Structure 1
Amino acid sequence: MFCPACGFENLPGADRCEDCMEPLMKLDVPRPRLGLQQRLMEDAVSHLNPLPPISLPADAPVIEAIQLLKDRKVGCVLAVEGKQLVGILSERDLLYKLAGSPNSLDQIRLKDVMTAHPVTLGLEDSIRFALYQMSVGGFRHIPIVKEKIPVGIISIKDVLRYINRTVLQQGSEEASSRAGASS
């Protein structure tokens, strides 16, 4: 990558020019191509239509959270103190943290088994960033917050539905343009 200020050839991915220290970060940003790649990079999480959050106080018995997961057929419950998000309890948390526990489920509190300080996103964050966070963090759910207050939840299923919808829409548009070109 050549520095626009001095012409020095830097290694790809360099943050600054090795010769003149000119910032290069904006030059190495991936540019979206058309179609799905562009939509993933540019569309906001709000396009995933996040579901309303399901939450409980952090000091609620974990048995209440389990019942909510079962009744609502969801994969996580958010833990709050007041209105602010303090944790998330997923099905995976239950498996890894409760399996073999000698305590009765009504004695264990949500705060004892939740993942504290979960990664969160805002409605304006990109879908690409949501996928990145899920991939790096190894989780399937991300709370959507506004000023630390949960306003929604997204899951990998939401992202996959979005990708499917986008691919089908692009296929329809391509078929329509081919049909229009042949008439």
Structure 2
Amino acid sequence: MPQYVKDVMTPAVTSVRPDASLVEAAQLMRAEDIGGVLVALDGELLGVLTDRDITLRAVADGVDPLTVSCHLVCTPNPVTIGPDEEVAEAAALMRKHEVRRLPVIRSGRPVGVVSMGDLEQGGPPA
């Protein structure tokens, strides 16, 4: 019997505004103990920002993380998946696009995130 993304995803969506600074995003990631946040405006997904993005696309280039916005550093138009898709499809998308997280979208709005950890553990932590 197939397992579905909605059964293993982390349903809480942690997001930042596109104009939020990288420092704000990093502080939120630390507080939530997560490695990435969604960049969204009015419920519309604009991108995904990871700790790796901040390190490689900003800090390594010497930009000021207090003044640079998340929208300038995030991965725009990320690969997404629906909650009713099979977990095997999520894993295939992650492999194909070499990503560790997929935003889960329903009716154009983010409703969760599925990560490699979710797939390996069979779902989000209780």
Question: Letter of the aligned partner of 1:43 in structure 2?
Answer: Q
Alignment of 1:123 with 2:83, yes or no, is yes
Aligned to 2:46: 86
8 Å Cα contact 2:14/2:37 also seen in 1: yes
Q: Kindly report structure 1 stretches of 4+ aligned residues shifted beyond 6 Å.
A: none
Q: Give the structure with the higher percent helix.
A: 1
Gaps of 5+ in 2: none
Give the TM-score of the pair, scaled to structure 1: 0.64
1:131-159 superposed Cα distances (whole Å, 9 cap, x missing partner): 00110111100111112211101110000
8 Å Cα contact 2:59/2:65 also seen in 1: no
Aligned to 2:10: 50
Larger Rg: 1
| 1:133 corresponds to which of 80, 93, 115 | 93
Gaps of 5+ in 1: 1-38, 164-183
- Say how many residue pairs are matched: 123
Give aligned-pair identity as a percent.
25
Aligned to 2:64: 104
Aligned to 1:159: 119
Give the TM-score of the pair, scaled to structure 2: 0.91
8 Å Cα contact 2:47/2:74 also seen in 1: yes
**Secondary structure in 2 matching 1:100:** helix
Tell me which of the two structures has the higher relative contact order, counting C-alpha pairs closer than 8 angstroms and 6 or more residues apart. Answer: 2
Distance 1:110 1:126 in 2: 31
Q: Give the structure with the higher percent strand.
A: 2
| 2:32 corresponds to which of 44, 57, 72 | 72
RMSD: 1.4
